[in-house]
Chains A and B, each alone.
Chain A
Amino acid sequence: MRLTRSIASALLLFSAGVAQAASAWGFDEGSLQIVAKKSGDSVKEKLDPKAPLAKPVTLGSLDTLKLGLTAKDSGKGKRPHQAFLVLQEQDSGLEAPFPMMVKESGKAAVQITHKDLPVQFLVAKKPLKASIVLASFGASQGFNAPAFEVKLEIDPNAPAPKYEKPLRYGKQPEIHHIFRPDPQSPPKVVSLFFTLLVVAALPALLIGWAVLGGNVKHLSTAFSRAPISHATFFGSIVAMEFVFFLYYTTWNLFQVLPVMAAVAAVTVLSGTKALGEVQARRHLNTLLAVNTRLLPLVPTSVLRNSGQDPVTYDMRF
């Protein structure tokens, strides 16, 4: 099986060779020339139809590439209908044909500068592949073979060629929304430290007041003089704070407002009584402090809190 196949392929090769030998296009006297515009220097290479040039040639932005050859049909100079120099961009496979000017004798020539090239070639990263195509009507086998590679040198001072890819329907790059970072807390140790500092302010405040002489020694006096109003007044202040606490934890504004109104009414009503008592006590104390001489005149029962109305008590002085 394998043997027959190899025989067949050998036969094919042979027959192809025969066909080529019988009648085939080719070229002679192929030459490639790069002419620099400014200096007039030129690089010249000889083209071989059987093998492409080993090294890529460089074409500057103002240089001209000149290719000349003599097209031959089975060794005889002749004009082919198709005599193209085809440049190909290697990544995309994009091709641009450059027909040669051909004379009856088969002498063909073509000139290429950067202006003649499509912009996709100018932005290409790899060297362009150049191949020569010579073919015509009739039975002669066409010639199509790579001839050389050409590297384009873009003038760094000139504006770079721009190529915008045309719109093609297809898959687009994925997009994933970048979320804002979540709010962050400092390390718990730091929070705890400052929490302790804040909590420590309360004992500091209480100690400060105590040092300055603050006390609650009249608590029993006040409660014995006006027990109900003092209890409700202070109780309502505590209750108001509790309402605030409930607002913070579970209640909403509409639950809070009526309760606050009720507590506030209690505060006002009991407050007039309770604060009146406080004022009277202060007044008495001030008088006592200023007129210490009068102290003996005041009945001790009064000073010791007789439970009478402070207003009537005031009237005595």
Chain B
Amino acid sequence: MRLSLSFIAALFTAAVSAVSTTGNRLLVVLEEDADKQIYSKFLGDLKSRGFDLSFESPKSESLSLFHLGERSYDHIIFFPTKMKGLGPNLTPNILVDFLNAKGNILVTLHSNVAAPTSLVSLLAELDIQLPADRTGLVVDHFNYAADNSSAKAHDVLLLPPPRPARSDVKDFFSTGAGEDDVLAFPRGVGATLGASALLNPVVRAPETAYSYNPKDQVGALTADDLFAAGTQLSLVSAFQARNSARLTLVGAAEMLQDTWFDAEVTASAGGKKKTINREFAKRLSGWTFQELGVLRTNWIEHRLDEPEDPRNNETNPKIYRIKNNVKYTISLSEYSWDSWTAFTVPDNDDIQLEFTMLSPYHRVPLSWDTTRSSDSAAAYTAYFRLPDQHGIFNFRLNYKRPFLSNIDEKNTVSVRHIAHNEWPRSFVISGAWPWIAGVAVTVAGWLAFCLVWMYSAPAKKGVKGEKKTQ
């Protein structure tokens, strides 16, 4: 019964949110309607995933991201426009407000078109730097497509599938891609990322790539002119705010165009290769629009782990005692395209639970709890012993990882000290024996004194003494 109910509930939620966890209203900012045609496959993929696309020009006066303080759209895509700014409806302030309201933004750039100042300011706000003059071109003389014009200009980079840089990060963008497949990055702009933990490069430039200004650095590149080179250049960058709103910067808008979807290219090193741009575009937009890597806490439970304690069965008690053994369980789900699945922790990573009062007293990893997990939710459990310090503590689970939405759960409990009748009795403690014996001897001595004081006959010596004085 319970199973079927939850099944129906799962079906219902799946029907309601068939697309993204945060909504399906997608605003596409395009300057000319003709541009729809060159991105038709990408936009068609989005539509088929359930997004409700509305096209607007930045010049449009009716365009407004907010209506009565609520978001009018859930997601925005910016395609390159020739406008210098983006008008009064898309100022950096409004875009930051949009991010703060948990809206997601996908920004695309093109090396032939200077980035609008509004977007440059927004990116600078997030610590993403673009080359001076709002434009630049990334070239690599070692990994380029040797077709057409790129054979000479080397401006179509062929990159290996973007694997995560760290071993403890989940691979969202290149799963399923073969080692021989390439990602084409045509005529794109590279950016450099600040030191913020909220920023992550999705695609880095190869070691030999560099960015230059095709207008005035044609002859040679001097040290002062170099914007960035090698792996410091981020071609596709991801930003996830503390509220889990996401912004993605795609350096080359052209990589989302129909021509590069499932295209065949000639690599400079030799051989024909297939591009994975379509799958990458799907995954990148899916991640940006909260279809991938979204975590949800289903429930949290903490309780005593002391079988002999009468309060052992109480769930989420408000008070514990110091040195109690406790058990903490959390159920987590991850959204994957259209349904909630059990969240599995990436290899080499751990969900960690902290038990804190100002600073953590414990930080312990949680392990998979198979008995309480299902296909749509994974339970993770930790067992530990409360510290020998009383006070107001928090069970704190702060799980922030690149490309996964943030989880920060805090459950406050009191930890009392040991009551006077919970200590071992003094006669059990061998060190107390002399003191207990002392008490017993005092009692016996007192009783003996009472006897002697009340019932002692006068000593004979004293009588004799009296006689002597006489």
Contacts and interface: CB of A to CB of B under 8 A. Distances in A.
Given A186-B431, A238-B447, A175 B363 contact: yes
A198 B437 contact: yes
A98 B223 contact: yes
Interface stretch (B38-46, B112-120, B174-182, B453-461): B453-461
Given A101-B222, A237-B450, A218 B457 contact: yes
B365 to A, nearest CB: 7
A217 B441 contact: no
A286 to B, nearest CB: 8
A188 B152 CA distance: 91
A206 to B, nearest CB: 6
A305 to B, nearest CB: 12
Contact of A81 (B220, B230, B387): B220
Most B CB contacts (10 A, CB to CB) among A194, A195, A237 go to: A195
A199 B441 contact: yes
Contacts of A197: 434
Most A CB contacts (10 A, CB to CB) among B208, B222, B270, B350 go to: B208
A93 B355 CA distance: 36
Interface stretch (B295-303, B310-318, B462-470): B462-470
A217 B232 contact: no
Most A CB contacts (10 A, CB to CB) among B212, B445, B456 go to: B456
CB-CB nearest 3 A-B residue pairs: A213-B459, A135-B141, A185-B431
A171 B352 contact: yes
25 contacts: A12-B270, A16-B270, A99-B221, A137-B141, A137-B152, A137-B154, A142-B141, A144-B142, A167-B197, A174-B352, A174-B363, A175-B362, A177-B385, A177-B387, A195-B434, A198-B438, A199-B437, A199-B441, A217-B457, A218-B454, A222-B454, A241-B443, A241-B447, A289-B463, A292-B467
B226 A175 contact: no
A285 B458 contact: yes
Given A198-B441, A289-B462, A133 B222 contact: no
Nearest to A178: B387
Contacts of A317: none
A82 B433 CA distance: 87
B461 A171 contact: no
Given A186-B430, A201-B445, A215-B457, 19 more contacts: A83-B220, A101-B222, A144-B142, A166-B195, A169-B400, A170-B401, A175-B361, A179-B388, A185-B429, A191-B433, A199-B441, A205-B445, A209-B448, A209-B452, A213-B460, A214-B459, A217-B455, A218-B457, A292-B466
B410 to A, nearest CB: 17
Interface of A: 12, 15-16, 79-84, 86, 93, 95, 97-99, 101-102, 110, 133, 135-139, 142, 144, 166-177, 179-180, 184-186, 188, 191-192, 194-195, 197-199, 201-202, 205-206, 209, 212-219, 221-222, 230, 234, 237-238, 241, 244, 274-275, 278, 285, 289-290, 292
A175 B210 contact: no
B402 interface: yes
B32 interface: no
Interface residues on chain B, size class: 35 or more
A285 B456 CA distance: 11
Nearest to B217: A81
Contact of B364 (A176, A217, A222, A275): A176
B387 A179 contact: yes
B219 interface: yes
Nearest to A167: B197
Given A171-B350, A171-B352, A195-B434, A139 B362 contact: no
Contacts of B452: 209, 214-216
A82 B221 contact: yes
Nearest to B401: A169
